[in-house]
């Protein structure tokens, strides 16, 4: 055995001893609330993000088949090198309309979206201030971004966030990044407080609302990320799909006054078509783009 193989074998042994060695569970049915799992039979799944049941929705499956037949299995390269497919552009236009943003960009996963968005927003003088319980993809994204400084504040500790913001140079770009709904704990980010602090210190708030929009509190205006949001969260098509829909819920006065919240724009607008109204009642915006707001850079 080479040294590397020996080291890996030892590491794997330690994982097995610690009970943390992971194996895949093999699905023998589509993902859903109840699945067929190899060797286990029928199993109730409580851990997926398939909030809207789109993973095996007949319309989604049919559209997938049609897309495969018409366009094949992919562009076989980066979309800006070899070309992109018309349906992707159409999807992005729809997503932008839905979220009332100038444009939307889709990614194959939210991990990708975070790794694209955070470095793009970061320059060499940026300070990134991140909740300690943020999702691993945000942590990776911050590493990739290589900001001038990173600060991790204790989970939802607004005092620590305030201190971190105060310690920044006034002219420095400041990004405050948070999950909207924390993926491990399930608790909500204190977005109204975060936004107030961000406004006071001219920082930009970036929210990964993977588990918020559509899953918590009804429409987007009531979702954690948009209730008082000045920046939209990152997303992927898959993730967006998980998050859309939810029954309308009351909009607070604070939310109605938020200038950058698409949903509030909707509330104010009287010229929406019936289709768009219906869509929005059922669908949530993808949060795939960043809308400049009062605290934006
Ligand atoms: C908050 C959050 N962001 C990002 C991700 C990564 O998402 P994806 O599986 O689409 O890459 C997850 C995964 O569940 C998540 O919980």
Do both 118 and 206 map to the same domain? yes
Q: Which residue has the tokens 């080291």?
A: 7
Residues 164-196: pLDDT tens digits? 999 999 899 999 999 999 998 889 999 999 999
28 in Cβ contact with 36 (< 8 Å): yes
109 lines ligand 1 (CB under 6 A): yes
Our answer on whether the CB atom of 110 is closer than 6 Å to any ligand 1 atom is: yes
Measured CA to CA, the distance from residue 229 to residue 94 in angstroms comes to: 21
Task: Say yes or no: CB of residue 50 within 6 Å of ligand 1.
Answer: no
What pLDDT does 217 receive? 65
Report the Cα 79 to chain-centroid distance in Å. Answer: 21
pTM of the entire predicted model: 0.72
Residues 212 and 257 reside in one and the same domain:
yes
Same-domain status, 202 and 275: yes
**137 ligand 1 Cβ < 6 A:** yes
Q: Is the dihedral of CA 30, 56, 208, 82 positive or negative?
A: positive
111 C-beta closer than 6 A to ligand 1: yes
Q: How many CA atoms lie within 13 A of 272 on its CB side?
A: 20
Tokens 């330690």 correspond to 14
Task: Calculate the CA 252 to chain-centre distance.
Answer: 23
Least confident window among 9-18, 110-119, 163-172, 270-279: 270-279
Q: Does ligand 1 come within 6 angstroms of the Cβ of 210? A: yes
Residue 2 lies in a domain: no
Residue 86 lies in a domain: no
pLDDT in tens, 2-59: 999 999 999 999 999 999 999 999 999 999 999 999 999 999 999 888 888 889 999 9
Q: Does 273 map to a domain?
A: yes
Instruction: Return the ligand 1 atom nearest residue 181 CA.
Output: 1
178 domain residue, yes or no: yes
Q: How many domains does the chain have?
A: 2
The answer to whether residue 195 is domain-embedded is yes
* Residue 139 located in a structural domain: yes
For a ligand 1 pocket test, name from 239, 242, 288 the mutation site with the most ligand atoms within 8 angstroms of its C-beta: 239
Residue 234 near residue 260, CB atoms below 8 Å? no
Give pLDDT, residue 243.
35
CATH classification at residue 178: 3.40.640.10
Q: Are residues 179 and 225 in the same domain?
A: yes
Choice among 74-78, 91-95, 114-118, 275-279 with the minimum mean pLDDT: 275-279
Question: When comparing pLDDT for 170 and 132, which is higher?
Answer: 132
- The rounded Å distance from CA 271 to ligand 1 centre is 35
| Same-domain pairing of 45 and 150 | no
User: Closest by alpha carbon to 87, among 69, 101, 102?
Assistant: 69
272 and 225 belong to one structural domain: yes
> What percent of the chain has a predicted confidence (pLDDT) above 70?
72
Q: What are φ and ψ of residue 90, in 5° steps?
A: -65, -45
Separation between Cα atoms, residue 76 and residue 90, nearest integer Å:
20
270 and 224 assigned to the same domain: yes
With a 6 A CB cut-off, is 173 part of the ligand 1 pocket? no
Reply yes or no on whether the pLDDT at 292 is more than 70: no
Looking at residue 218, what is its pLDDT? 52
Question: Which value, in Å, is the radius of gyration of the alpha carbons in the chain?
Answer: 21
Segment 236-260, tens digit of pLDDT: 333 333 333 222 222 232 222 222 2
Which one is predicted more confidently, 53 or 279? 53
Mean pLDDT, range 101-106, rounded to an integer: 91
Q: Residue 218: which domain range?
A: 100-282
Give the residue, 223 or 59, on which the prediction is more confident: 59
Centroid of ligand 1 to alpha carbon of 131 (angstroms): 16
In a domain, 153, yes or no: yes
Specify the pLDDT at position 64.
95
In whole angstroms, how far apart are CA 175 and each of 22, 148, 178, 238, 248? 34, 12, 10, 25, 30
Q: Which atom of ligand 1 is nearest to the CA of 180?
A: 1
Q: Is 239 in the pocket of ligand 1 (CB under 6 A)?
A: yes
Same domain flag for 121 and 264:
yes
Q: Do 257 and 170 sit in the same domain of this protein? A: yes
Q: Give the DSSP H/E element, type plus range, for residue 42.
A: strand 41-44
> In this predicted structure, what is the pLDDT of residue 139?
97
Co-location of 266 and 186 in the same domain: yes
Which residue has the least CA distance to atom 16 on ligand 1?
A: 183
Instruction: Compute, in angstroms, the gap from residue 137 CA to the centroid of ligand 1.
Output: 7
Q: What is the pLDDT of residue 49?
A: 86
Dist. CA 170–CA 157, nearest whole Å = 22
With b meaning 16 or more CB within 10 Å and e meaning fewer, what string describes 228-244? bbbbbbbbbbbbbbbbb
Examine residue 288 and state whether it is found in any structural domain, yes or no. no
Are 68 and 105 contained in the same domain?
A: no
Whether 106 and 34 share a structural domain: no
């Amino acid at each position: 055995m080479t040294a590397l193989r020996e080291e890996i074998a030892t590491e794997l042994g330690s994982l097995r001893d610690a009970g943390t060695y992971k194996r895949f569970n093999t699905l023998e049915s589509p993902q859903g609330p109840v699945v067929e799992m190899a060797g286990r039979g029928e199993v109730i799944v409580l851990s997926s993000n398939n909030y809207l049941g789109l993973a095996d929705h007949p319309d989604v499956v049919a559209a997938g088949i049609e897309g495969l037949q018409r366009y094949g299995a992919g562009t076989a390269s980066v979309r800006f090198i070899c070309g992109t497919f018309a349906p992707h552009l159409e999807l992005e236009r729809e997503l932008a309309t839905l979220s009332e943003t100038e444009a939307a960009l889709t990614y194959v996963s939210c991990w990708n979206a975070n790794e694209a968005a955070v470095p793009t927003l970061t320059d060499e003088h940026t300070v990134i201030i991140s909740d300690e319980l943020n999702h691993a993809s945000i942590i990776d994204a911050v590493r990739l971004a290589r900001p001038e400084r990173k600060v991790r504040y204790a989970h939802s500790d607004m005092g620590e966030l305030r201190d971190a913001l105060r310690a920044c140079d006034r002219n420095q770009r400041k990004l405050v990044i948070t999950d909207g709904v924390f993926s491990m704990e399930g608790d909500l980010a204190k977005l109204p407080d975060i936004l107030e602090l961000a406004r006071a210190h001219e920082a930009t708030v970036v929210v990964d609302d993977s588990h918020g929009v559509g899953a918590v509190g009804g429409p987007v205006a009531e979702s954690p990320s948009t209730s008082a949001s000045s920046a939209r969260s990152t997303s992927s098509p898959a993730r967006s799909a998980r998050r859309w829909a939810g029954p309308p819920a009351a909009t607070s006065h604070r939310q109605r006054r938020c200038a950058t919240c698409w949903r509030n724009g909707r509330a104010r607008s009287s010229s929406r078509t019936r289709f768009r109204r219906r869509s929005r009642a059922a669908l949530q915006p993808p949060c795939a783009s960043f809308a400049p707001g009062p605290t934006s850079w």
